[in-house]
Amino acid sequence: MNLFRLAVALSALACIAAAQPDPRPNIIFILADDLGYGEVGFNGQTRYATPNIDRIAREGLVFTDHYAGSTICAPSRNTLMTGHHTGHATIRNNFLGGGNDGGRVALKPTDITVAERLRAAGYTTAMIGKWGLGEPDTPAAPWRKGWDFFYGFVNQAHAHNQYPEFLYRDSVVEPLEQNFGHKERAYANDLFTTEAEAFLARVGAAPTAGSARKPFFLYFSATTPHADLKCPADSIAEVKQAYAWAREPGAAESSVVFAAMMHRLDRDVGRILAKLKALGLEENTLVIFTSDNGAHEEDGKDNAFFRTARPFRGIKRDLYEGGIRMPFAARWPGRIVAGTRTSHLAAFWDFPATALELAALPRPSDLPNEGISYAPTLLGRSSDQKTHGHLYWEISIKGQARQAVREGNWKLIRNGLTSAPELYDLANDPAEASNLAAQQPQVVARLIPLLTASRIDSSEFPLTPGGTDKIKGKARK
């Protein structure tokens, strides 16, 4: 009898333990597409308002020196997912050859994504929006790279259409008959946000008796404000009503539409935040907002009007600050101190290490060593924060090999392998207006070797067009 009662008691204790909430945080990573540093309110945008995005900044932590993985889409997302920077990454450009008509390269089976790592650790994972790292018939299709649920664009070129005729739900093509015949009735990002709300409702539902709610990782990869510049009429009307400049007779339609896209993106962010609150998930959810690269100039967009890179130089496809330094804010009520800022130097390839540390996982031996977790900075433990010796980027665009390295406040850029390097002091010259290479030869001499040591050759993406890569580097670790 005593043994029976003991067994019952132990069983009850096991059920209670199993029902305890998982202390590991949920993670939502919101990635805008082609959004420049100055195109959000918390970084000074005044042509339109982004109150929900700004709320993440106001109630959380703003990184002033956070960088994208690249100055264009696919390689930037490669670094975010795998932790390899572009000197080691599989994907170093959108297309082979650096143009718009080359073939594509997919992630390799050896490229383990952060989603694969978190799912193996018990997280429920979802990716909604734009993938761009492997076609449906490759091992790098999103449903084969760690996502329990996928909805959106697999091919990044397909994602250039804001009113597509189909999207993927996991591996199944889902027709959007509302958009057949070039009709524009179903806006892709509206669908994405609805799916995000539905996912949150599923994972946020009360667990069954004796079970615990699993933590989740949601990667919300919007396609706004990327071209094509199109937006539903209600957001366009909203912008014209809200801003005098948009009602002026000479107002550019492209500017009105871009502002409308930003209004809608901000509304999408607000819907996600509202759903978290309604489900009681706010206090255990880290929400990050950022962009994949600098502002675009397609479809007649007026970057000067919006001061897209403020206070920096450059846009998408440049390795100047405007092409790679991103707006970045992180919110986690009760864990991240509201209204704070940090100049900690961080980049996309730090995210996998950060997510794994937050999930209380030991750093895997096969995690790329380029990334450094910024979890200590998020949680206010600056004394525990490791720092980068330097950051590195490379890309070949239209036959020109471009490389950049940042060490402390020094930034060295080389636009062409045989061109003279440019050197900038970002502390005193964030706009990169004064090239100090001639005045600081010792700094140039110290940084130039990093252009070699930070990379390995890529047969798909050589830095010398039409031939073998001339810069030899260290093998990937």
pLDDT digits (tens, 9 = 90+) for 210-240: 678 899 999 999 999 999 999 999 999 999 9
At the fourth CATH level, which superfamily is domain 24-384? Alkaline Phosphatase, subunit A (3.40.720.10)
**Tokens representing 68?**
């994208």
- Among candidate residues 433, 385, 431, 426, the one with its CA nearest the CA of residue 408: 426
**Tokens representing 26?**
């949920």
Average pLDDT, the chain: 92
Backbone phi, then psi, for 449, in 5-degree steps? -60, -25
pLDDT of residue 98: 64
No. of H helices and E strands in the chain? 14, 17
Backbone phi, then psi, for 358, in 5-degree steps? -65, -30
Q: Note the Cα 320 to chain centre separation in Å.
A: 18
8-state DSSP, 385: -
pLDDT of residue 398: 80
Pinpoint the residues of the chain covered by CATH 3.40.720.10: 24-384
Tens digits of residue pLDDT in 148-183: 999 999 999 999 999 999 999 999 999 999 999 999
**How far is the CA of 364 from the CAs of 13, 86, 246, 352, 458, in angstroms?**
33, 21, 52, 11, 25
Single pTM value for the model: 0.93
Tens digits of residue pLDDT in 324-369: 999 999 999 999 999 999 999 999 999 999 999 999 999 999 999 9
Q: b vs e for 368-387, b when ≥16 Cβ sit within 10 Å of the residue's Cβ?
A: bebbbbbbbbbbeeeeebee
Q: DSSP string spanning 116-130?
A: HHHHHTT-EEEEEEE
DSSP 3-state of 432: coil
Pinpoint the residues of the chain covered by CATH 3.30.1120.10: 391-453
DSSP 3-state of 8: helix
Dihedral-angle region of residue 386 (phi above 0 means left; psi in -120 to 50 means alpha; beta otherwise) = beta
Compute the distance between CA of residue 95 and CA of residue 93 in angstroms, rounded to an integer: 5
Radius of gyration for the chain, computed over Cα atoms and rounded to the nearest angstrom: 23
**How far is the CA of 423 from the CAs of 65, 396, 471, in angstroms?**
18, 20, 20
Contacts of 111 (CB under 8 A, 6+ apart): 78, 81, 82, 84, 90, 140
**Span 391-453: which CATH code?**
3.30.1120.10
Q: What is the mean pLDDT of residues 37-61?
A: 98
**Tokens representing 339?**
């209204």
Tens digits of residue pLDDT in 419-433: 999 999 999 999 999
